[in-house]
Amino acid sequence: MENVSREGLEFLGNRDRPIAGQSLTDNPDLVYKWQQPPEFTDLPTAIDGMFIKLTEPDALSSITDMASRGTPIADITKVILYAGFEEGMFNPDLMSLMIEPTMYMVMGLAEKAGVLDYKIYREEDEEPSDGKEQLKGLQTIIETAKETLVPDAYKKKASQVLPEKIVEQIEEVKAESLLSKPETTEEE
């Protein structure tokens, strides 16, 4: 106790944070959704539920807008999955299993909306420092070009991760390209 100053103890005591064990004294009727049993407990039903959420008009519009603005697919997926966890859709373990299928669904929906130049990870634009990294980067660019020149390239890899039913449903989604002409009604 000789090394602890009085000012340091007062600083720690006056911080606006919960004290240890405070959650045990909270009202049991006012629990967070993530503190309750999750809505989904297995991967196939969680993938189906996530697909339904992603194809809602507002969510689909937000996903395609973010992808077209250059937000990496991994970042979009991270936001979607964390929000799903907070809403009580799944526990952290199932959330980590949902990363790959959710990324493929987001890529498929972005491609379906005409966004073909999306980034998968944030570091994609960084320059390699040595010759080996440059060669590896060129090989990656060639592979990526092959995949993006083929329409619906996500299907090849997505079919290995996503159930075929979800891949077929992505094909049926009517997502408008951001460059498409808006529909006009007869009244306009």
Residue-wise pLDDT for 51-65, tens only, equals 999 999 999 999 999
pLDDT at 155 over 60: no
Separation CA 112–CA 158 (nearest Å)? 14
Separation CA 119–CA 148 (nearest Å)? 12
pLDDT at 2 over 70: no
∠ CA 73-74-75 to the nearest 5 degrees?
90
The per-residue pLDDT for 32 is 75
Is the full-model pTM beyond 0.85?
Answer: no
Question: Residues 51, 55, 60, 64: what is their CA dihedral angle, to the nearest 10 degrees?
Answer: 60
pLDDT at 143 over 70: no
Separation CA 4–CA 152 (nearest Å)? 63
Q: Which two tokens stand for residue 183?
A: 């529909």
The per-residue pLDDT for 115 is 86
Separation CA 107–CA 64 (nearest Å)? 9
Determine phi and psi for 28, rounding to 5 degrees: -65, -15
Separation CA 167–CA 158 (nearest Å)? 7
The per-residue pLDDT for 186 is 67
Determine phi and psi for 176, rounding to 5 degrees: -80, 140
Separation CA 103–CA 121 (nearest Å)? 11
**What is the arithmetic mean of pLDDT over 128-133?**
64
Q: Which amino acid is at 115?
A: V
Q: Which two tokens stand for residue 158?
A: 């997505």
* Mean confidence (pLDDT) of the chain: 79
pLDDT at 29 over 80: no
